[in-house]
Amino acid sequence: MKWSWKLGTFTGIRVYVHATFLLLLGWIAFSHWLQYRSLAPTVVGVAFILALFACVLLHEYGHALAARHFGIATRDITLLPIGGVARLERMPEQPNQELWVALAGPAVNLVIAVVLAAYLQLTGHFEPLSQTGMTHGAFLERLLFANLFLVGFNMIPAFPMDGGRILRALLAKRMQYARATGIAAVIGQGAAFVFALLGLFTNPFLLFIALFVWIGAAQEAGMAQTKSLLDGVLVRDAAISDFRVVSPRDELSAVVRLVLRGWQQDFPVIDHGHVIGMLTRRDVLAALAAGPAYTSVSHCMERDFPMAEAGESLQPVLARMQQSEFDTIPVLENGRLLALLTRENIAEYVMISSAVKAASESARALSPAPRVEGVVAKSLVQHTSLVDSLGGTTSGVAR
């Protein structure tokens, strides 16, 4: 994530803190200073926020380690002013797995709260609830109630919070994954609307939470729809068969002419019939800024890059592309370059498939039963011509 600084790597997971987190600390320090006009309570207020976000970090590690148990790695964890974000390489495919991964985070906060409660009870340090709040009272008691709040807040059944994922997992046991996600996303956006209304009249910070929940719910719905549309689709279905290649001995000036005359930004580098590199747009620009235009392609091409087989399923290949910095990868068949796969073309394939699916469902709902098959068949024929123009087939469409 941009504007993030790395804190370190723990249990093989990189941990980052976003720059805006410093704004939160500054705001906490400033508000405590205005209230108390003393350094000691100001330091305690900042320390409390740091302790609270340490609990948030442990919450995210709960998700990450539960996902690791099911063979799913975590790319990184980022701390933001509104909480933490653990980026898993992929979402659990089984509803039960997603259920346990979602529950693991709040479970960590519940354990922390129980441990703190046991300690305070044994030491006799519990204070009356009337003397405890988020900005005043005993440090550990405040931390105890903050963890209970995290449990309750995250269990709200709305995306992208854990409760939304739990709801999706439970619904997915009884219906299609995309429909379950759609229901959870709608509930999430409804919750965002409520947060926004409360924020207008109470705490403005709820407006930021509302925005985060609204965007997160929309993204989850979009990802589920994409996954549904790509189910059963092969790489060759969304790959581009009309493309240009370059030689490692070509000069950059020749590549620039290809860029200006066509659509391509990234080029596979071919030597004796084999792909030996990828020349990306950023490589060309960096090389032109650093040296003359007669520099050869071999001096600036990427030698470590992902590739795909034409017969592979598209979903895992798309996941590999998202993990890499490449927008274009070569597609091979029997060791030879067959096509190119680009993120842009995958997006176009998804949009076309979504439009055809919507038209088919609309025709099925509005037309008399005897005519539905003809309407759907016509849509499929139109879709076949569109996909063929992209260099693919109609495998896995109209789902």
Q: What is the pLDDT of residue 133?
A: 60
Choose between 237 and 383: higher pLDDT: 237
Mean pLDDT of the chain: 81
- Average the pLDDT over 354-374 and give the result: 62
Which CATH superfamily, name and number, covers 235-343? CBS-domain (3.10.580.10)
Greatest mean pLDDT among 59-73, 152-166, 209-223: 59-73
Choose between 279 and 126: higher pLDDT: 279
Selection from 147, 350, 314, 316 nearest residue 236 by Cα: 314
177 vs 86: CA distance, rounded Å: 22
The pLDDT tens digits for 237-295 are 888 988 999 999 998 888 888 888 888 889 999 998 899 999 998 888 888 888 787 88
Q: Which pairs from 164-167 meet CB under 8 Å and 24+ separation? A: 164/188, 164/217, 164/220, 165/98, 165/99, 165/101, 165/102, 166/99, 166/102, 166/103
Can you spell out the DSSP letters for 54-77? Answer: HHHHHHHHHHHHHHHHTT--EEEE
Choose between 308 and 133: higher pLDDT: 308
Angle (nearest 5°) at CA 36 between 31 and 40: 95
Residue 189: other Cβ atoms inside 10 A: 19
- Average the pLDDT over 158-182 and give the result: 85
Burial (CB < 10 A; 0-12, 13-18, 19+), residue 86, is buried
240 vs 389: CA distance, rounded Å: 9
Q: What is the pLDDT of residue 99?
A: 93
What are the structural domain ranges in the chain?
4-155, 176-229, 235-343, 347-389
Residue 260, Ramachandran bin (φ over 0: left; ψ between -120 and 50: alpha; else beta): alpha
Q: Are 368 and 374 in contact (CB under 8 A)?
A: no
Q: Are 383 and 398 in contact (CB under 8 A)?
A: yes
Instruction: State yes or no: pLDDT of 101 exceeds 90.
Output: yes
- Average the pLDDT over 340-358 and give the result: 84
198 vs 185: CA distance, rounded Å: 20
- Average the pLDDT over 118-130 and give the result: 77
- Average the pLDDT over 132-146 and give the result: 77
User: Given pLDDT bands bounded at 50, 70 and 90, which one contains residue 326?
Assistant: confident
Residue 363, Ramachandran bin (φ over 0: left; ψ between -120 and 50: alpha; else beta): alpha
Selection from 275, 278, 280 nearest residue 309 by Cα: 275
CA distances from 192 to 171, 205, 356 (A): 21, 12, 31
Strands 4-10 and 13-18: antiparallel
Q: What is the pLDDT of residue 129?
A: 63
Angle (nearest 5°) at CA 132 between 127 and 137: 80
User: At residue 91, what are phi and psi to the nearest 5 degrees?
Assistant: -80, 150
Q: Are 375 and 367 in contact (CB under 8 A)?
A: yes
- Average the pLDDT over 293-300 and give the result: 85
